[in-house]
Amino acid sequence: MNDDAPQSKTTPSWRKPPPSPLLKGTAEKILHLQRWTERLFSFRLSRPAAFRFQPGQFARLGLDGPLGSTIWRPYSMVSAAYDEHLDFFSIQVPDGAFTSRLATCKVGDTVYVEKTAYGYLTTSRFVGGSNLWLLATGTGIAPFLSILRDPAVWVQYEHIVLAYSVRQAADLAYRDEIAALPQHPLWAEQGHKLRFVPIITREQLPGALSQRLDRAITDGSLETAAQLALGDDSRILLCGNPQMLDDVRAALSARGLRPDLGRAPGHFASENYW
């Protein structure tokens, strides 16, 4: 096509400007950035006044893309539902359209936040159960940190197990925050309920398991480390890469535990949005 050709009164669809991100989101500012490793980082955004979420849900975040477009990606909230800000945890994907841009952002830069929170990786989905298991790999720890900042969870369950699997010890982000959780003043009397099981699959670290999560379930080492049995009173949330989810679901099913399907209440649930 010749760019000098006369234009019709109706602009072709491929010439129309992309829709403004403000039609479905708000423009928020980066308040804080933290680098954990070369690939892992956290960022804090201002929180829209009307934004509400349940611990375990995710938001869709947007960054300016090429030719006026907006690139959107889902990110689980790390922060508590009552915090005045929104915290997120990210891995930088090589040549990733979104994370490559995000990793170069600075404090004060704009990130769009959709007005609605999404997802069902929440404790409210479960019926019954006295022990809560939170099984995560990598950045899948994010929604569970939000859940563990919910005072109601500490009252609801008799025991809470957080198993956090990473490749190397340096990847254990938030370990200081996890260690401090039992002393939080909102639930300090319930703090003894938390049992943290770190898993390092490519290094040896004293006090940490070295098997992948599915194998730790199959051989019983996860239960030994947690000093708690996986059984009918267990309610289990999974978050991580798709292969981990498949493997852990299979390991749990082999133990006679059932997926929670809403209409058919069960023991475990997962959510895969990447």
Confidence at residue 17, expressed as pLDDT on a 0 to 100 scale: 81
| 84 and 190 fall within a common domain | no
**φ and ψ of 82, to 5 deg:** -95, -5
- Are the CB atoms for 48 and 87 separated by under 8 Å? no
pLDDT given at position 16:
77
Q: Each residue of 97-126: pLDDT tens digit?
A: 999 999 999 999 999 999 999 999 999 999
**How far, CA to CA in Å, does 78 sit from each of 88, 110, 125, 189?**
5, 19, 19, 23
Do 266 and 200 lie in one domain? The reply is: yes
- In a shared domain, residues 37 and 148: no
Q: Does 21 map to a domain?
A: yes
Q: Which of 113-117, 167-171, 251-255, 260-264 is predicted with the least confidence, judged by mean pLDDT?
A: 260-264
Final residue of a domain: which of 66, 90, 114? 114
Same domain for 100 and 144: no
Domains in the chain: how many in total? 2
CATH of residue 110's domain is 2.40.30.10
Confidence of residue 3 (pLDDT cuts 50, 70, 90): very low
Residue at 4 is within a domain: no
173 plus 263 within the same structural domain: yes
Residue 7 backbone dihedrals phi, psi, to 5 degrees: -95, 140
Same domain membership, residue 141 and residue 78: no
Q: Token digits for 209? A: 């398991």
What CATH number should be reported for the domain holding residue 205? 3.40.50.80
Per-state percent for the chain, helix, strand, coil, to nearest 5: 25, 30, 45
Residue 252 lies in a domain: yes
Indicate if 155 and 255 belong to the same structural domain.
yes
The whole domain housing 107 covers 15-114
**Sign of the dihedral defined by the CA atoms of residues 71, 72, 75, 80, in that order:** positive
- The model's pLDDT over 222-240, given as tens digits with 9 standing for 90+, comes to 999 999 999 999 999 999 9
